[in-house]
Structure 1
Amino acid sequence: MNVAINRKLILNILLFVVMIGVIIFVIRDSLSEIFTELGKTSWPVLLGVTMFGVISQVIEGYTIKNIANEFNREFSIRDGFFASAYATFYRVVTFGTGSIVSEVIYYHKKKLRYSEGTGTSALRMITYKIALMIWALFFLVVKNDAIQRYITNGTFLVIAGIFVTLLIVSVLLILSLNINAQVLLIIFCNRWFKHQKLRDIVDRINNQVYSLRAAIKAFIHDRNAVIRVFCSNMAKLVVWYFLPFFILVQEHPTIDIWLTVALISFTVILGGVLPAPGGIGGFEFVYVLLFRNVVGKVDAVSSLLLYRYATYLLPFLIGMIYVLFNKQRQINHEFKKAKKRS
């Protein structure tokens, strides 16, 4: 027993050290440009951007709480707040591969079954994408001239982005709400996919869709929860979309608020559609492409980095503190147990 406890303690310490190393590597290599920009930003702007980031995290916590409450009534806004930050932290340190898994694990720690956690994560993504589409359609009507002015065939590309998003959401919902569609998909995959790795992927997707079906049925039964989640997703995007205006208006007092909000809405939709050259992220490429025509490339890049701080780096830092605090507490607990046994 003594040996087992010591091994667990040593393993936790090693994981803690490795995690610190990965964090240092990520901050130095992947996030250094954002930190450099933060160092050049005035305190009023930095505090304002931070405030917007925290507000969006609180709203996200409220969104997750309203979904997870269908499975655990004790799940709070605070739990949802840290769930989002926890998933962002692992998305960064695993370079995008561990986000969903870590989020489901977090939900399991909060007394949701793995199937319920998977459903909560999927519903969070679906409702978010629906909100993206609605805002993009709205601004396509209100500010269609803006996208046509800055990108050739811009209207077509935005519509294509909306269509791709709609297709993803529709497929997930059809498979989740119609068991016959899921069966047909499995039959099709079994007939055409003979490689074991592909079959394993299909099996995992099948399990996730099954979990999503149970979650959606429980969720849509509560209409008030559906309305709350829809409104909170729309509100979170309002906070995100107002950020570029808040950042840019400091140096460009005459900038049009509706124009900046429309452009960031189009950026989010187009980020996953337009090819990005030179290894640049799709979102970053489209953001600079659109905003440089309004404020110049230098200010566009600066505002992009601050936007990324509020929507990406800040949740990562919150998640990092949460993970490291819990890991340290776990190490202290194991150390006390080992000390009592010695």
Structure 2
Amino acid sequence: MKLSINRKLILNILLFTVMIGIIIFVIRDSLGDIFTELGRTSLPVLLGVTALGLVSQVIEGYTIKNIAGEFNPQFTVRDGFFASAYATFYRVITFGTGSIVSEVIYYHKKELTYSEATGTSALRMITYKIALMVWALVFLVIKSSAIQAHIANGIFLVLAGVLVTLLIISSLLVLSLNINAQVLFVIICNRLFKRQKLRDIVDQLNNQVYSLRGAIKTFIRDRNAVIRVFCSNMAKLVVWYSLPFFILVKDYPDIDIWLTVALISFTVILGGVLPAPGGIGGFEFVYVLLFRNVVGKVDAVSSLLLYRYATYLLPFLIGMIYVLFNKQRQINHEIKEAKKEVND
């Protein structure tokens, strides 16, 4: 028994050390530009951006609470707040590969089954995507001339981005709500894909769809929860979309708030559609492309880095503190257990 405890303790210490190393590498190489920009930012702007970032995290916590709370009524806004930060932390240190898995594990630790946890994660993504589409269409009506002025065929590209998002959501919902569609999907995939690796991916997707079916059926029974989740997603995007205006208005007092809000809404939709040259992220490429015609390239890049701080780095830092605190507490507990075994 003592050997197993010592092995577990050594493994956790090793994982803790590796995690610290990855964090240092990511902060230095991947997030270094954001920290540099934070050092150049005035205190009032920095505090305001931080406050908006925290508000959006609280709203996200409320959103997750209303979804996960359908399966575990004890799930709180605080749990949802840290769920988002936890997933963001692992998305950063695993370079995008571990976000969903970590989120599901977090929900499972909060007494959701793996099926309910997977469904909660999928519902969170779907409701967020719906809010993105709604705001993009609203601002396309209000500021269609703005996107057309900055990108050739901009209206068509925004509509294409909305259509792609709609197809993804519709496919998931059809497969989840219609068992015959799911069976047909599996049959077609099994005929098309002969390699075991591809079939494993299909099986994994099939399990996720199955989990999503149960989650959707449970979730849509509570219409008030559906409304609350939709409204909270819309509200979170309002906070996110107000960030560029807040960042730029000090140096550009005449800037149009509706223009900046519309441009960031289009950026989010187009970020996944337009190809990005030179390895630049799609979101970053579109953001600079749209905002440089309004405030110049230098200020566009500066505002982009502050936007990324509020929506990406800040949740990462919160998640990092949460993970390291819990990992340290776990190691301390195992040290006590090891000492107890030795004394016994």
Amino acid at match of 1:206: N
- 1:97-116 alignment, distance < 5 Å: 97-116=97-116
- Once residues 150 and 5 of structure 1 are traced to their aligned partners in structure 2, the CA distance between those partners, rounded to angstroms, is 61
After superposition, give the CA deviation of every residue in 1:84-140 in whole Å (9 maximum; x if it has no partner): 000000000000000000000000000000000000000000000000000000000
Which residue number corresponds to residue 164 of structure 1? Answer: 164
Structure 2 equivalent of residue 12 of structure 1? 12
The amino acid across from 1:168 in the alignment is I
- Partner SS for 1:194: coil
The residue that corresponds to 2:125 in the other structure is 125
2:8 paired with 1:36: no
In structure 2, what is the equivalent of residue 196 of structure 1?
A: 196
Aligned equivalents of 2:163 and 2:8: distance in 1? Answer: 49
Output the CA distance in 1 between the equivalents of 2:9 and 2:148.
60
State the SS of the aligned residue for 2:216. helix
Could you say which residue in structure 1 is the equivalent of 2:92? Answer: 92
Task: Calculate the aligned-residue CA RMSD, in Å.
Answer: 0.3
Deviations 1:262-300 (A, max 9, x none): 000000000000000000000000000000000000000
1: CA distance, partners of 2:42 / 2:218: 47
Question: Is residue 2:49 matched to residue 1:49?
Answer: yes
Letter in 1 for 2:137: L
Q: Which amino acid in 1 is paired with 2:82?
A: F
**Structure 1 residue 261: Cα displacement:** 0.1
Aligned to 2:340: 340
Shift of 1:229: 0.1
**In structure 2, what is the equivalent of residue 148 of structure 1?**
148
Unaligned runs of 5+ in 2: none
Distance in 1 (CA, whole Å) between partners of 2:149 and 2:302 is 22
The aligned runs of 1:55-74 (5 Å cut-off) are: 55-74=55-74
For 1:316 and 1:26, the matched residues in 2 are separated by 11
Residue equivalent to 2:308: 308
CA displacement, residues 34-56 of structure 1 (integer Å, 9 cap, x when unaligned)? 00000000000000000000000
CA distance in 2, matches of 1:86, 1:38: 23
The CA deviation string for residues 140-183 of structure 1, in whole angstroms up to 9 with x for no partner, is 00000000000000000000000000000000000011111000
After superposing on structure 2, the runs of 4+ consecutive aligned residues of structure 1 that deviate more than 6 Å are none
The residue that corresponds to 1:243 in the other structure is 243
Is residue 325 from structure 1 mapped to residue 300 from structure 2 by the alignment? no
| Matched AA of 1:129 | K
- The correspondence of residues 178-217 of structure 1 with structure 2, limited to 5 A, is 178-217=178-217
Give the match's secondary structure for 1:250: coil
1-structure distance, mates of 2:277, 2:299: 21
Deviation of residue 66 (structure 1)?
Answer: 0.1
- Secondary structure of the residue aligned to 2:56 is helix
Aligned-residue offset at 1:30? 0.2
2-structure distance, mates of 1:215, 1:328: 34
Runs (5+) with no aligned partner, structure 1: none
Counterpart secondary structure, 2:255: coil
Q: Please report the TM-score for the alignment, with normalisation by the length of structure 2.
A: 0.99
- Correspondence 1:265-276 to 2 at 5 A: 265-276=265-276
Partner of 2:232: 232
User: Deviation of residue 59 (structure 1)?
Assistant: 0.1
Aligned amino acid, residue 324 of structure 1: L
1:276-291 to 2 correspondences below 5 Å: 276-291=276-291
The alignment's TM-score, normalised by the length of structure 1, stands at 1.00
Aligned residues: 342
Distance 1:179 1:201 in 2: 19
C-alpha deviation, 1:250, in angstroms = 1.0
SS in 2 for 1:89: helix
CA distance in 2, matches of 1:207, 1:219: 18
Q: Deviations over 1:315-337 (max 9, x none)?
A: 00000000000000000000000
Shift of 1:246: 0.1
Q: Distance in 1 between matches of 2:143 and 2:222?
A: 35
Partner secondary structure for residue 111 of structure 1: coil
Q: Take 2:7 and 2:98, find their aligned partners in 1: how far apart are those partners?
A: 25
1:293 paired residue number: 293
